[in-house]
Amino acid sequence: MSQNKHHIISLKTYIIVFSALLFCTFLTILTARPDLIPFIGLERTFFDFGSFNIVLALFIASFKSSLVLLFFMHLYYDNKINLALILGSVVFLALFIALTMIDVTRRQDIYDIKGKLVNPHAPIYDKSSSTPANGH
Protein backbone atom coordinates (compact mmCIF):
# COMPACT_ATOMS: atom_id res chain seq x y z
CA MET A 1 0.00 0.00 0.00
CA SER A 2 1.06 3.52 -0.62
CA GLN A 3 1.67 5.79 2.27
CA ASN A 4 0.33 9.30 1.90
CA LYS A 5 1.97 11.68 4.28
CA HIS A 6 -0.01 14.82 4.90
CA HIS A 7 1.82 17.84 6.11
CA ILE A 8 -0.08 20.19 8.37
CA ILE A 9 0.84 23.81 7.81
CA SER A 10 0.61 26.03 10.86
CA LEU A 11 -1.75 28.95 11.11
CA LYS A 12 1.24 31.28 11.54
CA THR A 13 2.54 30.25 8.09
CA TYR A 14 -0.86 30.86 6.53
CA ILE A 15 -1.08 34.30 8.11
CA ILE A 16 2.42 35.22 6.92
CA VAL A 17 1.67 34.07 3.37
CA PHE A 18 -1.69 35.86 3.40
CA SER A 19 -0.10 39.12 4.58
CA ALA A 20 2.59 38.79 1.90
CA LEU A 21 -0.16 38.32 -0.69
CA LEU A 22 -1.96 41.43 0.55
CA PHE A 23 1.26 43.45 0.46
CA CYS A 24 2.01 42.25 -3.08
CA THR A 25 -1.53 43.13 -4.13
CA PHE A 26 -0.97 46.63 -2.75
CA LEU A 27 2.27 46.87 -4.76
CA THR A 28 0.49 45.69 -7.89
CA ILE A 29 -2.16 48.37 -7.48
CA LEU A 30 0.54 51.02 -7.07
CA THR A 31 2.35 49.90 -10.22
CA ALA A 32 -0.83 49.54 -12.27
CA ARG A 33 -2.44 52.79 -11.14
CA PRO A 34 0.21 55.44 -10.39
CA ASP A 35 -2.56 58.05 -10.29
CA LEU A 36 -3.68 56.61 -6.92
CA ILE A 37 -0.30 57.20 -5.28
CA PRO A 38 -0.98 60.80 -4.11
CA PHE A 39 -3.97 59.52 -2.11
CA ILE A 40 -1.70 57.46 0.16
CA GLY A 41 0.80 60.26 0.75
CA LEU A 42 3.58 59.33 -1.69
CA GLU A 43 4.82 61.27 -4.67
CA ARG A 44 3.53 60.23 -8.08
CA THR A 45 6.98 59.31 -9.39
CA PHE A 46 7.64 56.90 -6.51
CA PHE A 47 6.22 53.87 -8.36
CA ASP A 48 5.87 55.21 -11.92
CA PHE A 49 8.39 53.29 -14.03
CA GLY A 50 6.82 54.02 -17.40
CA SER A 51 6.59 51.04 -19.70
CA PHE A 52 8.40 48.86 -17.13
CA ASN A 53 5.26 48.95 -14.94
CA ILE A 54 3.71 46.03 -16.82
CA VAL A 55 6.86 43.93 -16.43
CA LEU A 56 6.98 44.74 -12.73
CA ALA A 57 3.30 43.85 -12.34
CA LEU A 58 3.92 40.50 -14.08
CA PHE A 59 6.83 39.73 -11.73
CA ILE A 60 4.69 40.55 -8.70
CA ALA A 61 1.85 38.38 -10.06
CA SER A 62 4.29 35.52 -10.64
CA PHE A 63 5.55 35.81 -7.08
CA LYS A 64 1.99 35.82 -5.74
CA SER A 65 1.01 32.80 -7.78
CA SER A 66 4.11 30.94 -6.59
CA LEU A 67 3.13 31.65 -2.97
CA VAL A 68 -0.35 30.28 -3.60
CA LEU A 69 1.03 27.22 -5.36
CA LEU A 70 3.65 26.48 -2.73
CA PHE A 71 1.66 26.97 0.45
CA PHE A 72 -2.07 26.97 -0.22
CA MET A 73 -1.84 24.13 -2.74
CA HIS A 74 0.86 22.38 -0.66
CA LEU A 75 3.39 21.99 -3.49
CA TYR A 76 6.18 22.89 -1.10
CA TYR A 77 5.64 19.65 0.79
CA ASP A 78 4.44 17.53 -2.14
CA ASN A 79 6.27 15.28 -4.58
CA LYS A 80 8.97 17.29 -6.37
CA ILE A 81 7.92 16.01 -9.81
CA ASN A 82 4.69 18.00 -9.45
CA LEU A 83 6.71 21.10 -8.68
CA ALA A 84 8.92 20.48 -11.71
CA LEU A 85 5.88 20.12 -13.98
CA ILE A 86 4.33 23.34 -12.72
CA LEU A 87 7.60 25.23 -13.00
CA GLY A 88 8.07 23.92 -16.54
CA SER A 89 4.60 25.15 -17.43
CA VAL A 90 5.36 28.58 -16.00
CA VAL A 91 8.66 28.76 -17.89
CA PHE A 92 6.97 27.93 -21.18
CA LEU A 93 4.19 30.42 -20.49
CA ALA A 94 6.80 33.11 -19.79
CA LEU A 95 8.60 32.17 -23.00
CA PHE A 96 5.43 32.47 -25.06
CA ILE A 97 4.55 35.81 -23.48
CA ALA A 98 8.09 37.10 -24.09
CA LEU A 99 8.03 36.05 -27.74
CA THR A 100 4.65 37.71 -28.21
CA MET A 101 5.90 40.90 -26.58
CA ILE A 102 8.96 40.91 -28.83
CA ASP A 103 6.71 40.48 -31.87
CA VAL A 104 4.38 43.27 -30.84
CA THR A 105 7.14 45.74 -29.98
CA ARG A 106 9.15 45.09 -33.17
CA ARG A 107 6.16 45.15 -35.55
CA GLN A 108 6.59 48.86 -36.33
CA ASP A 109 10.02 48.11 -37.82
CA ILE A 110 8.40 45.78 -40.33
CA TYR A 111 5.83 48.41 -41.22
CA ASP A 112 8.59 50.96 -41.75
CA ILE A 113 10.53 48.57 -44.01
CA LYS A 114 7.50 47.60 -46.10
CA GLY A 115 6.56 51.24 -46.57
CA LYS A 116 9.90 52.16 -48.18
CA LEU A 117 11.11 51.47 -51.68
CA VAL A 118 13.61 48.65 -52.01
CA ASN A 119 15.81 50.59 -54.42
CA PRO A 120 14.64 54.19 -54.84
CA HIS A 121 17.19 54.77 -57.64
CA ALA A 122 15.82 51.99 -59.88
CA PRO A 123 15.05 53.01 -63.48
CA ILE A 124 11.36 52.34 -63.02
CA TYR A 125 11.15 55.25 -60.59
CA ASP A 126 13.02 57.66 -62.91
CA LYS A 127 10.68 60.57 -63.66
CA SER A 128 12.70 61.78 -66.64
CA SER A 129 12.32 58.61 -68.71
CA SER A 130 9.76 58.92 -71.44
CA THR A 131 7.14 56.31 -72.18
CA PRO A 132 6.56 55.07 -75.74
CA ALA A 133 3.87 56.79 -77.73
CA ASN A 134 1.81 53.66 -78.24
CA GLY A 135 1.55 53.11 -74.44
CA HIS A 136 3.37 49.76 -74.36
pLDDT in tens, 21-38: 999 998 888 887 777 666
- CA separation (Å) from 120 to 71, 117, 128, 130? 63, 5, 14, 18
CB 60 within 8 A of CB 27: yes
Provide the pLDDT for residue 132. 56
Q: How far apart are CA 84 and CA 92, in angstroms?
A: 12
Helix orientation angle between 11-32 and 52-67, rounded to the nearest 10 degrees:
170
Q: How far apart are CA 25 and CA 42, in angstroms?
A: 17
Question: What percentage of the chain exceeds 70 in pLDDT?
Answer: 75
Q: Where exactly are the structural domains of the chain?
A: 9-77, 79-121
State residue 125 phi and psi, 5-degree precision. Answer: -95, 5
Whether 131 has a pLDDT exceeding 80, the answer reads no
**pTM, entire model:** 0.60
